[in-house]
Amino acid sequence: MAKTKRVVVTGGSGFLGRALVARLAATDWCGEVFVPRSAEYDLREMAAVQQMYADARPDVVIHAAGVVGGIGANRENPATFFYENLMMGVQTMHQGYLHGVEKFVTIGTICSYPKFTPVPFREEELWNGYPEETNAPYGLAKKMLLVQSQTYREQYGFNAIYLLPVNLYGPEDNFDLQTSHVIPALIRKFIEANERAAATGETAKVVLWGDGSPTREFLYVDDCAAGIVAAAERFNGPEPVNLGAGFEISIRDLATMLARLCDFTGEIVWDSSKPNGQPRRSLDTGRAQALFGWRAGTPWEEGLKRTIAWYRANRGAG
C-alpha cells in the first residue's frame, strides 16, 4: 500500500504522541502526519477544531490529546479534567464524522474502569460500577468518547475505534512532580534525594503517598504506540480494547525496584494520610492479541533502565 494516508495525531507533541508520530513514519501507509499545536488549535473550541480539519484534511485521526496528571492534580482540578477532556474529544470526533474521515482512533484511559473491577480488568466490566473517586471526572469524560464512537458507528456507519492503554512510562515522560505519574515521580525523587544527602551529609529520605499496597500495570510507551498503530491498521470494530503489558506490581515493590535502579539506599517513608487511588489495576490484553495481533514486547526492567538513563541525561535541558 502506498504511503498516501494523511494522519492527524492530536497530542502529537506529548509523551505518547511523539512515540506515535515516530511509529507512523515507519509504516508503509502513512504519508504525512499533522500535529495540531494547542497554541494554534485549541481543541476545546469548535471553531479551532473545524479549522484543524480544514488545514489538515486527514484520512485518519488518532485522538491522543488530553489533560492528564497524577492523583494530586486530579483532586485539585476535577472540573478542568472533566470539561477539557470531554470537549476536546466530543468535538474532534464529531467534526471527524462531518469531514468524512476514514477512521477515528480514540485513546481512552483505564481510569474509566470501576473502582473495584475484578483483576485482570476485562473490557466487559467497564460499566459495572463507578470509577475511583480521585480520577472519576477524567475517567468518565474519556468514557463518554466510547459511547460516542459506538453510537456514531451505529447511526452513521462511522469507523471509530476505542483503545484503553494502561499507565505508560518511558524516556521523555513528564517528570514534573506536580503533574507526573508514579514512575517518573519516583525516579526524580530518588535521584534528587541522593543528591541532597550527598550535599548535606544527612540520610537520604523520600516520602511517598499512601501505604504502597495498590497494584498497577505499566506499558512502555513505544509498545503502546505500536499497539495503537496496529489497531489503526487492522481493527475496525465497536468493542473497546485494552492495551497493557499483562503484569501487576504493587507500588511498594515498584518503589523498591526503582530505588535499587537509581542507587538509592536511604529511607522510604509512606504517608498513609494521603490517598492510595484505585486498589488494583491490571488488564486482560487477550482482545488486542486476538483482534489485531498485538502484544507488548519491552522487558520491564529494561524499560525502567532506559527511562532512568534518559532522565539523568536530560533533566537539565531547558
For residues 29 and 47, give the distance between their C-alpha atoms in angstroms, rounded to a whole number: 30
Name the residue type at position 110. I
pLDDT of residue 44: 96
Q: Which residue has the cell 541525561?
A: 313
Count the neighbouring beta carbons within 10 Å of the beta carbon of residue 309: 12
For residues 109 and 12, give the distance between their C-alpha atoms in angstroms, rounded to a whole number: 17
9 alpha-carbon distance from chain centroid: 14
pTM of the model: 0.93
Which segments of the chain does DSSP mark as H helices, in order? 15-25, 46-56, 71-76, 78-98, 136-156, 182-200, 221-234, 251-261, 286-292, 300-314
* Residue 122 dihedral angles phi and psi, to the nearest 5°: -110, 145
For residues 63 and 9, give the distance between their C-alpha atoms in angstroms, rounded to a whole number: 6
Name the residue type at position 60. V
Cis peptide bond N-terminal to 120, omega within 30: yes
> Which residues are annotated as catalytic?
138
pLDDT of residue 169: 97
Nearest alpha-carbon partner for 207 in 255, 277, 251, 271:
271
**What count of residues does the chain have?**
318
For residues 117 and 125, give the distance between their C-alpha atoms in angstroms, rounded to a whole number: 7
Dihedral, CA of residue 278, residue 215, residue 182 and residue 23, to nearest 10: -100
For residues 305 and 257, give the distance between their C-alpha atoms in angstroms, rounded to a whole number: 11
Nearest alpha-carbon partner for 146 in 113, 120, 116:
113
* Residue 186 dihedral angles phi and psi, to the nearest 5°: -65, -45
Q: Tens digit of pLDDT per residue, the chain (318 long)? A: 569 999 999 999 999 999 999 999 999 999 999 999 999 999 999 999 999 999 999 999 999 999 876 677 778 889 999 999 999 999 999 999 999 999 999 999 999 999 999 999 999 999 999 999 988 999 999 999 999 999 999 999 999 999 999 999 999 999 988 778 899 999 999 999 999 999 999 999 999 989 999 999 999 999 999 999 999 999 999 999 999 998 899 999 999 999 999 999 999 999 999 888 778 889 999 999 999 999 999 999 999 999 999 999 998 654
pLDDT of residue 67: 80
For residues 182 and 271, give the distance between their C-alpha atoms in angstroms, rounded to a whole number: 15
Using the CB atoms, write b or e for 232-257: b if 16+ within 10 Å.
Answer: bbebeeeebbbbbbbbbeebbebbee
List the domain boundaries for the chain.
5-169+219-247+279-298
Name the residue type at position 197. A
pLDDT of residue 168: 95
CATH number for the domain whose boundaries are 5-169+219-247+279-298: 3.40.50.720
